Structure 1
Amino acid sequence: MSEHDCDLLVVGAGILGLAHAWAGAKRGLKVKVFERSHTPLGASIRNFGQALVGGQAPGVMLDLARQANGLWKTLGQAAGLHLHQQGSLLFARTEAEEALLEAFVNGRGAELGYRTDLLRGDALEALYDGRFAHHRAALLGLDDQQLYSREALPQIVDYLARTLGVEFHFSTLVRDVETHRAVTSAGRFTARHIVVCSGHDYQTLLAEPLAALRPQVCGLQMLRVRPRQPLALRHALLTGLSCVHYGAFADLPEADAIRAQIRSQQPELEAHGIHLLISPTPYGDLIIGDSHVYGSDISPFNAEQVDRILIDLAQDTLGGEVDVLERWQGVYGARGPGPFSVVEAADGVTAVVMHTGLGMSVGLALGERTVTALLGEAGPIVPRHSTAA
């Protein structure tokens, strides 16, 4: 190695930072990771832990999600993660939602090779002993995975440190970065490459180049619940409401009927950006959400009305009542020039910023591609700003 303290210095220990650390360490680089909190506490921990392929928009995000799918299987096995690999279920509750799923399967899904099955009749009845038979249909996303992120990320940290020799500096603020140098609350460090993955913090580091992206922050209301009728759920769950949010479906003509239905029957869903997601934990509890509010900063106050809507949607989907165990506010970076940006902020300093809540779905692949480009290896090159199709 050269005179530097390390080959790769990563700022941030969320999934994006850990993805870059893993990509570097696998290649034999000496890697240091700096995280301002005592453990990962940002978007990767607060959100659903869903690594979805089936919902991704055609183009770069679908390509990244497919690559990340295989990487999750490798990392999951190596780090001993509790990784649900049974797929996802997207339930059609109305005729309009069923029509969209059928159009997707027969059109874009078949053309672009999305691995999905549309379950109806006996196949739907067979799911979880008929628990979801009150729906019209279910789209099974065969490549979708899900993990319990509040446990999985610390496990990944432990694996990277113990097995690959990555050096972690928690409770350490990085105050400034410039060419080959980082100034931290634990001293100064030098590196051949510095990658900043600081989530929705756009002001502590690289404020000027990040401001040019005009990013925002998204806040979402989250709950952990326990079904009163036990349910050993092994799939991530969504409903047809997600079809107007996720890029695989949202631009299809059939999505317009769902939007019209929402606006006429439940306008509060559009007003609060609500569509239901449900993720199982290893302990029989379920994580539910989500809503969306955007701005340069997010108010810390949750609205009980939004939680009540989410609970009602969850109970309708699950066919039974739930008890709330925890409530919290999710958060992620949002609304930049594309779904993500990769910015060369200075010689040897790269910022990688997600502008969607899909870091768990694509982050491992984005880390691979960014490190590949930094080292000049053959492989897909990440553009300065992504351009989603």
Structure 2
Amino acid sequence: MTHHRDLLIVGAGILGLSHAYAAARRGLKVSVFERTATPLGASVRNFGQALVTGQPPGQMLELAKASRDIWGDWSRLAGLQIKRNGSYLFARNETEEHLLEAFCNNRAVEHGYNVALLRGAALRDVYGGQFSHHRAALHGMDDQQLYSREAIPALIDYLRRELGVEFHFSTLARDVEPGRLRSTAGDFTAPQIIVCSGHDYQTLLAEPIAALDPQICRLQMLRAKPLINLNLQHALLTGLSCVHYGAFADLPEAAGVQAQILRDAPHLHEHGIHLLISPTPYGELIIGDSHHYGRDPSPFNAEQVDNWMIELAEQTLGCKVQVVERWQGVYGSRGPGPFSFLRPAPGLSVALMHTGVGMSVGPALAERNIAQLWEQE
């Protein structure tokens, strides 16, 4: 038997689910195919940070702002637990403080970033002075944080229950062609098929994907308990992130931060380490991360990399932590831009992220893609 739908989506990560939502809320009949019994890729291995502040001016910033609104809708409609009180990016030294000050005085004003630079008494008021050993803190007030391991399944449940999206888990999409998808759950037809395959560049539409020359980024990540009653309610970053995130990385002052890292801690640059910390709903912290790039993610973690990240976390938090879990994050990276939306044939598309900000921009990116596809029909 061949099953007919309006839209078929391969992949139940954040991009696949976002496309399913954008289509289903237009009244379209949608089926989603996922090879595992539950999503296990980048969308559940991440920090759950949906950041507006770190995005560069232009389309990425606008997509992040629009995605923030969609996450708000999902929080209300699907009952997702989302912390919407922002993030703190700590300047650990004068060079990082100088960069944050320049960002706030110029780019933040020009492009409408909703931020505040906290110093002195204002910094001492943050968590009762727990972070007053830092020089300053950039409060990104539009940033959000969620627990991906629970948020993604909750979103799936909402899409299935309220919007009628049909899910086929533990199902391999073997082949796609215009109008038809063959899978281990049978054959399906639809006028539109979107492949949201994450970092799987081999199974479907390998030739058009290969033309992008993408790579895979592997990250070492940890879950830990703080050994004080911290009750953290914000995502945390440090000035190390400023040389990675586009909102800061091209500012003249970022060169000084990078030079300081290369001089004082070259191992952080070599392993792409910049500290991110996210609280879970259970009083624990997700800590990371490192970045290693290649065609295939190595299965082997380096204990020294974890030790460096733990050291950074303890310095930032001002307390010791106890590691309770370790894993590898992995995502598609280093394509021709931050994302790609290919259309190799009529009715057949590929949506790929080439950076680790799918949670931050994916919802609005999918809304844009679906609008473009159906406006053409």
TM-score of the superposition, structure 2-length normalised?
A: 0.99
- Deviation string for 1:148-195 (max 9, x for gaps)? 001100000000001111100000000111001001011110012111
Quote the RMSD (CA, aligned, Å): 1.1
* 1:9 and 2:8 matched: yes
Aligned twin of 1:269: 268
How far off its partner does 1:377 sit? Answer: 7.3
Partner of 1:229: 228
Aligned to 2:207: 208
What residue identity is the alignment partner of 1:332? Y
Contact 1:8–1:191 under 8 Å retained in 2: yes
Cα distance in 2 for residues equivalent to 1:66 and 1:4:
37
Tell me the matched-pair count: 376
Alpha-carbon distance in structure 1 between the residues aligned to 2:224 and 2:253: 32
- Structure 2 stretches of 5 or more lacking a match? none
What's 2:24 paired with?
Answer: 25
The runs of at least 4 consecutive aligned structure 1 residues that moved more than 3 Å come to none
Deviations 1:255-289, CA, capped at 9 Å, x for gaps: 11111111111000000000000011000000000
What's 2:311 paired with?
312
Contact map agreement 1:16 1:197 (CA 8 A) in 2? yes
Name the residue aligned to 1:328: 327
CA distance in 2 between counterparts of 1:48 and 1:333 reads 16
Distance 1:47 1:195 in 2: 23
Aligned pair 1:97/2:101, yes or no?
no
Specify the code of the residue in structure 2 equivalent to 1:10. I
Residue aligning to 2:297: 298
User: Partner residue of 1:259?
Assistant: 258
Instruction: State the 1:63 CA deviation.
Output: 1.1
Give the structure 2 partner of residue 157 of structure 1.
156
8 Å CA contact 1:53, 1:66 repeated in 2: yes
- Whole-angstrom CA distance in 1 between matches of 2:295 and 2:131: 39
> Deviation of residue 348 (structure 1)?
0.4
Deviation, structure 1 residue 238: 0.2
> Does the Cα contact within 8 Å between 1:4 and 1:192 map onto a contact in 2?
no
State how 1:165-184 maps to structure 2 within 5 Å.
165-184=164-183
Give the distance between the partners of 2:134 and 2:204, measured in 1 at CA. 48
Shift of 1:59: 1.3
Alpha-carbon deviations, 1:226-258, whole Å to 9, x = none? 000021111110000000000000000101111
Q: Which residue of 1 aligns with 2:40?
A: 41
SS at match of 2:202: coil
Deviation at 1:79, TM superposition (A): 0.6
Q: Which amino acid aligns with 1:302?
A: N
> Displacement of 1:58 after TM fit?
1.1
Percent pairwise identity:
66
TM-score by length of 1: 0.96
Cα distance in 2 for partners of 1:208, 1:40 equals 25
Q: Which one-letter code corresponds to 1:129 in the other structure?
A: G
In the TM superposition, what is the alpha-carbon distance from 1:373 to its structure 2 partner?
A: 0.5
Cα deviation 1:28-58 (Å, max 9, x = unaligned): 0001000000001000111111100000011
